[in-house]
Amino acid sequence: MKQMYPKNGRVILHVDMNSFYASVEMAYDPSLRGKPLAIAGNPEERRGIIVTCSYEARKFGVKTTMPLWEAKKLCPQLIIMRPNFERYRAASIGMFEILGNYSDLVEPVSIDEGYMDITNSYAHGSPIEIAEMIQRRVIEQLDLPCSIGVAPNKFLAKMASDMKKPMGITILRKRDVPAILWPLDVEEMHGVGKKTGEKLRSLNIKTIGELAKANDMTLKMALGINGKRLKDKANGEDNRPVDPEAAEEFKSVGNSTTLPRDISNQKELHKVLKELAEKVSIRLKRKKVLATGVSITIRYKDRKTITRSKKINNPIQATEEIFTVSKQLFQKHWNGNSVRLLGVTGTDLVEQGHAVKQLNLFNFEKEAKKEPLYHTLEKLREKYGSKIIENAAALSDIQKKQANIGTSTSFNKDFLQINRNNDKE
């Protein structure tokens, strides 16, 4: 079997769940299968934007980010459901658990996609056999469809997984690039967005093949350092490793909300800030980090948007601390006009173990009283490991619920049970 793997190169898989949110809802409620389904914000509010939709809905022209009113016009029988992120996170954990059975090198890219380096996974079979096993297990255990790209690098694996949806497995080799990728419009290339596509077309670069042969200096002047990187990828070159730690490299944690109506009442706006601060606090605790800065975003009814931030001497994580700084920033920079959107973000994050608190005259006594507890905890960690005692808030909701209901041999049953319990609460 080892002979089916390259001697010097790598074998990378990109696993991409198909219409993920909608597929999870169908797995949870089979009566939705075969029907046009869209996951969207509150239909009664302005957040009525399509987050994702089933393939049945796409046949009517319904697309992601489309306003809800437009989607309903195209497909009057469209079923609209609000997002259930707890359910989606549970399914995501199940998916990545399956991937981890075939390689230690798994890099999550988002909740519904990830890369795998299976170069040394030949004990499980050939690359195509591993891809088929993963696809089959995701269907059997989670009742969810996925597409998989098989390639020598991350870029080609990503391009390959997009070629056959749903439930496709596509192999894309470097020697296939001229025939398969080069004829495509440049906007179809992963990493080329609308604005980059417009810049490339202004240079008379319309296809991936033309990008692959473009002048380096011309690309650098138009796109900076990203120009050469895109050209390399257009030629099938990508040396980025699959890095399981890459998902941990984040610099900020934030939440924002579009208000159900334009609000100018200060008390109501403070309440929204408090709710956002609480969400940011929960996410910081789950990631086991603290913020050394806080920023807020205010969007007025005329869509004018401002962002203001503040550095903090003492790293913070608690809701009240985040709310206090957010409120100060808001009071200082709000012009009194009606607000359409508010956002709160914790920035310049540091790991809990590396956070240093600057004690002052007022908090020294309070912290000193906790010192015996800290000392005892440290001794326990030294003896039994750093994870022997953790703050309960650091656990995800899923972990807490799994601890309560016990484990299950089938993750599909597990995450469905979790959310049925939620429905009863």
Query: Among all residues, which ones are annotated catalytic?
Result: 113
Q: Decide the pairing of beta strands 113-117 and 12-17.
A: antiparallel
For residue 16, say whether it is annotated as part of any ligand binding site: yes
Query: What is the C-alpha separation between 258 and 265, in angstroms, rounded?
Result: 15
Give which of 307, 306, 305, 299 is closest to 340, Cα–Cα.
299
CA separation for the pair 294, 316 (Å, rounded): 9
User: Residue 159 half-sphere exposure, CB side, CA atoms within 13 Å?
Assistant: 30
Q: CA–CA separation, 332 vs 275, rounded Å?
A: 19
Question: Annotation-wise, does 29 bind a ligand?
Answer: no
Give the number of other CB atoms < 10 A from CB of residue 403: 10
The SS3 assignment for 47 reads: coil
Residue 134 contacts residue 99 (beta carbons within 8 Å): yes
Beta strand extents in 8-145 (DSSP E only) = 12-17, 37-40, 50-53, 79-81, 106-110, 113-117
Distance CA 163, CA 175 (A): 17
Measured in Å, how far apart are the chain's first and last C-alpha atoms?
Answer: 51
Q: Token digits for 229?
A: 């990187």
Instruction: Show binding-site residues for Mg(2+).
Output: 16, 112
Residues marked as binding?
A: 16, 112
